[in-house]
Chains A and B, each alone.
Chain A
Amino acid sequence: MAANANLVVYRELANKRAFWLIFFLCGLFVAGGFLAHLTMEHHGHVITGMDNRIVWGLPHVFAVFLIVAASGALNVASTASVFGKSIYKPLAPLSGLLSLALLTGGLTVLMLDLGRSDRIIVAATEYNFKSIFAWNVFLYTGFFAIVGAYLWTMMERRMNAFTKPLGVAAFIWRLVLTTGTGSIFGFLIAREAYQSALLAPMFISLSLSYGSAIYLLTLSAASAIDGRPLGEAIVRRLKNLLATFVAAALYFVAVFHLTNLYFTRNHGVENFILLDGGIFTGLFWLGQVGIGSVLPLILLLAPGVSRYRILIACSAIVIGGFCQMYVTIIGGQAWPLDLFPGFLASSSFFDGEIHGYAPSIWEALLGLGGVALAGAIVIVALKLLRFLPERMDDATLDPSHAKANAK
């Protein structure tokens, strides 16, 4: 056995009961999302909480979160292939799979929330290359192709030699992709809450954190479902990596707001988000900063960390991530545009007013449908294909660890 310590054997999920349960649950939510889409398609967006002031609502919160997390979910694979950390290599296929699944879920929500989602073929055939949205269409499809090929080189032994170059390509591509996602907001000239190139690196740092948290949750769930114990060393490494990402994301969020606070013209919107914005202020401080950043940092870095604490931290990061997206996307639109600086404006179209937003059940169902779709893809792929190592203990994942123990 000791001689075979280097040989990692991959196996499909064996626990049929858990598979069907998760598959059924995900299927239920996917069906709910599809029903919501059909209802919105039939009646129009009039049945949603969105309007001409909050044009991107809860579906965008879900979609952008999933797309950003998709890029971050590739962390483990990148660390293995690009940075040559062999301990992560056996866990890399799950990383690629999760990444593709999250991106599929996010893009599906985004597409089904379009006013004319039946015209998706138009989005694939008509391009305005000055639009960052159009660039994103290429970035997303390219990501599918590159990560798909990357997965193939990882899982097909004869193609292993190409894993490194494709890993590097995927790594660069995901950075560009998240830059593109952040720039969707950064390139809006008149919205005070955005209009900063800092949104691109901020989104990258957020993606690293969200993606890693979701990866750890998925890995732990898969390990628990199939009774494949996870090694202490790998969990500890992933935990440290996650803490670094959370701190980096918090740093960018702090710099972003400090920059805005330095510019007097942005004091209004900063005051709105940080002090006076009701639900948005609450979600920012309690959700994004408290639950999403400070709590996980304490849980991950305080002495005596346990598996349980790590999973709580991961869940808190995901909750904080949704709060962050809500504050960024909805809060940014809720703050009115200042067409006439120095004047108080009022109109039948709500000029000068802070806009309210109450999401409808349809938007929530559509968003949850996207999450469930990602879940369904992961569980089906794990059941049908050999994505996960049969053993995930430290001795299997890290031969040097095994040698050290043998001594």
Chain B
Amino acid sequence: MNAVTEHQFRSKSSAAKTRETATFWLFRAATYLVLLCGAAVFATIIFKGAGTVLQATPPFVKTSFLTEAPETLHVFEFQGQKREMGDKEFRAFKAANPAAASIRAESYVYSAGGIFPAIVGTVLLVVGSMTIALFLGICAAIYLQEYARDGRFIRFVRLAILNLAGVPSIVFGLFGYGLFVIGFKLFGIQFFGWHVSLLAGWFTLAFMVLPVIITASEESLKAVPKGFREGSLALGATQWQTIRKNVLPYALPGILTSSILGIARVAGETAPIMFTAAYVVRDKLPWEIERLSDFFFQGVMALPYHIYVVSSKIPQNEYTERVQYGTAFVFLVIVAIIAAASIILRNRLRKRYQW
């Protein structure tokens, strides 16, 4: 019996073996610790924010939080009852109850109402800047991948892209502020100088995300087999015809999918829009304008900036907590959906396109 179990090649427990197992467990612990930390952040925000955004009865979402503008919250005691009201409601209440006219209420700014203007602003910022970035980025990638021959100039362009990717977002904010918001005078003509506006925010964000888009687009173009191009060229098509008919259609899904990660980045950044596009609060919605041109030159509220404002400019207590966690919840969910979509689509795409 013994002879069977203790055969010559059985794995012996040695010091080296123990050390190996222990080290592997350390590595494993590191991995799961990282995941745990990420999950903890998610769980906290989802768990605490769900109360503001979701409800137990259909339609399960508190639409008022998503469709109203932020208001000041008033907390007061009236006839022995503790009441909380938004600004509009509070005024109506005062008008209806003369006894309440002289009531003293504690007020917390932005803690009532919803975050609709911020959501709209973020969507506008993302759509505009991604349009600019995708146009510039895809064109640049086509040049680099299809037209350019390796040379000093191309190496210089690549170096610039690589370095642009490493520039901190706040520096992009400063740059956008200096160029687009303030502008400069050359020979007495004012260039740019758009003040705090959507347009300034679009370009600042677009330049920030440009390296991501270019790299993603190049990768997708590279994935299209060489034979596609050679076949087309051999049939007498010009290079542009080849690119348009035989390369871009196959590369486009990949380009768009990889670029979704750029959307997550654009939506999530606060620093570049702080002084180029974002307002702390704005009563009017972006489409409430007199002339069409005003649309581009207006500042907007944005979700990330709103989170910054509500988490740093107002005190932390049970009344303000709702809007803080609620906004973070909505924002995190939006960004997470975008990011998850990009990761899943990319993985799927990798499997599908294998020429």
Q: Do chains A and B interact in one complex?
A: no
Chain A residues packing against B (C-beta within 8 Å): none
Chain B residues packing against A (C-beta within 8 Å): none
